[in-house]
Structure 1
Amino acid sequence: MKQFRFFLILIFLNISLLANVTLHSANSFIKGEAFVFEFEAVGSSVQFPKIEKIDGYIVEGLGTSRSLQIINGNYDEKLTKKYRIVPNSDFTIPIFTFKIDDQEVQSEAKKIVAKKVVKTSSNDFDLTLIPSKNSLYVGEELQVKLIFKYKNGLQITNLGFEQPQFENFWYKKVDNSSKRYEENGYVVQELEFLLFPQKSGELTIEPLRVDVQMMDTSRSGGVGFFTAAPKLKKIYSNQLKFDVKKLPENINLIGDFDIKASVDKTKIKQGESISFKLNITGIGNFDDIQDIKLDIPNATIYDNKPEIKTKYSKNGYEGTYTKVYSIIPSNSLEIPSITFKYFNKKDKKIVVKKTKPFKIEVENQVSKKVVLEKPKEIIETKKEVLVQKKSSLEDKIIFFILGLVSALLIIGLYMYVRLQSTKKTKKDTPLIKLVKGAKNKKDMMKVLVPFIKSNSNLDELIIQCESEKDFKVLKKEIVELLKEIKI
């Protein structure tokens, strides 16, 4: 009796030791970057909790990996689930409850702290942001040059640069600004961006990052390139700060612009249209020009979306704004002048420019009476021709043979289908049905684990469930083997 109690206690301790949950994660994270953590659970039956949010941040599952381990003749499964979260401040991974071998097992809580990014200092790499100015107005263009360089000869396999998110700036990449050259033993790559601040105050551009994947030859044992382990290194740039000043009230454009208007004609007949063209040229934030509408009484106006073309040159952000209107006046009228306002930084004042007005003369047309004559009624007599086709005896024989052949084909097809449906198929065993119903390797593993050690060939195929072998091929091989060994 004592031996039996001791045996039960030993089994319970063995289950308790095997049933455990471990949290793997870093202790800190960088704001704006994804933070990845994982839970590892071991047991013969493991059920993970549903993790959707942590401290209000959405949690995304990255996948599950599993492996089979044998301890003292016991088969246990080790499941690892990865998760991703993008926090903005310190947060805590709380206690979660897992169900392992019909027991509730709790994980440990862990506090994760936000870490401030500093520029990477290295003899092998450098990432620098260079602004064209540090003090500017809202809407004024700002050029930022990104320079990344790495030492020549490094075994780099991949460079990853995520598209930057310049908060509180509207931005675009400068066309044909990518450069690559060698200088002082370094490979240098350049990119240029145009930024336009969208609000006033002290604005900050946080450090950008380049992910460098390279071969870690220090861990390869000196055998060679192909045995070297890959290593990921994150390179951070410097931070930028700007003093952004407000534009005068009710002004959203800054630069030096010119505006002109033209019409294709000033004298038309009633019902005809006029083409009115508006053209703005110069240097400034063309993308912030609001759509210009016309309001002219006693006229119908049609307009298209404006066409805006821009380019960056040594003079600044140059552009053109073109819009064409089609105006149909009901009588003589005047197209009023259009007022255009912007802030000139050089003169530090508001500039107001106007187009000239256009007087349009509409000629009245004398209407003529139109007499409609009724066309003479033409009566056309149609002759109906009846064609009587006579069928010969030869045609009747041909039609009879074709009908007979068609009937025989239909009867033969019907008999074939009937014969196929009456054939008896060999029924699958319950185990084969479960294997065929498995949707992935995980499901198939659950079905086959109880049959380990029943057949050596089957054991080999079960182990292959942990490999990268194609699932469909593996399932087919297992089904064929089960039919042979008749489990």
Structure 2
Amino acid sequence: MKRALLYNLFLLAVITLHAQDITIEAEYPSVVEAGQQFTVLWTVNSGGGEFAAPSFEGFYRLMGPQTSYSSSTQIINGRMSHQTTYSYLYYLQALDQGVFVINPASYTVQNKTYYSDSIHIEVIASGTKRQNVQPGANTGTGTRVESGGSDIFIDLSLSRKEVYIGEHITATVKIYTRVDLSGINEIKYPPFTGFLKSDIETPPLTQLKQENVNGTIYGTGVIQNFLLFPQVTGEITIDPVQISVLVRQRSAETDPFFGDFFSSFQTIQKAVISPVVKINVKPLPGVKPDNFSGVVGKFDLKATINKDSVNVNDAVNFKITISGNGNLKLAGTPEMGLSPDIEVYDPKVTDNIKNSLSGTSGQRTFEFLLIPRHYGDYSIPPVTYTYFNTSSGKYETLTTPEYRFYARKGTESASGITVYGGVSREDVKYVGKDIRFIKSDPGKLSRSVNNIVSKNTFYTIY
């Protein structure tokens, strides 16, 4: 019985294994120096197949493959899942400078072959100090950052240095280091005077990636991204970002026989600041229209009404939605030229706005309650909204259609009950006895001769 159960479990595991999608993932550094030794790791989520590595053209193969295996089985709510991982590690050495492409690795199982992605590695000149290169630290190459020869620095980069007032700028705070860091102790951001700032959700910095900065390899990581909307024109100066980092340093000489195994380290605190950044903010060109809303970007406008017929004193729901990309958080309430016979309340404002590296996008909805106080036909004139289009460099006006609805008399007039505003103008009558005014003339008053307290009748009743 036990053997049969074990056989069924094994068979189920095999079926589950072959039912899953087989993938081959590669981990490698994207930038290395000539003569540097590094590793390339391929991971396959399946067993029972044959792995074939590429030719490593342009690199010298020092060792490999070193194969490792891991397996796990889970039974949750009666369902069993089995996961198997095989890893193939190769040690390589860079030879010549240039950008090299390593062909995909292959994995063949049950007469079917699967391939990994190609590997792109840039080899730069040797002779510069660098951090240890770990698998998985692949990133884009090429940057405009000036290192100034420092082992560690931070940079506040802007997506643009010249914009219109109200146009968004993406700001990125990034750290560059060639020394070992054990953590970031404190970060002090500038006040960003003259800007409206919005934070962009940025993943926590847990691993540095390799980048080539003017021929030198740095470990880099993004600390925080912002969206900045300039609110004044002219040249604006952004003060430096100040960061306190913890640097890990060796406190004794390396043992010639055991290397770093018996070495001791200490952590020291180091302050790093970014350079001052300046940006030119241009005023909006031309003459501003009288109905300019103040928003800048690219937008659309639409409106909806929920009813075309209501009773007097019943509400009509009228929505205006502004959507697009730009400083939506500054979008003000659209103006409506409504009849005085329509009572309108302050709108309910709903935002569905998201910040990203490309700017602020989404929509802002204004929901109005319109209450007709007299019966008859009503019109909601077209609503206009003027904004500045940064793409065309011109003011553009958006317009909604005209909407109409009808207000019925309802039941209030028929019952004889007068409701505020619930009758038509021709039915309004003056009723002089509805309200009595307070008399300002007291009339003739006289003092009584007899005092009730002095009478025997008062004490008898009491």
Q: TM-score, length-normalised on structure 2?
A: 0.48
Higher Rg:
1
The structure with more strand, counted as a fraction of residues: 2
The structure with more helix, counted as a fraction of residues: 1
Higher RCO (CA < 8 A, seq sep 6+): 2
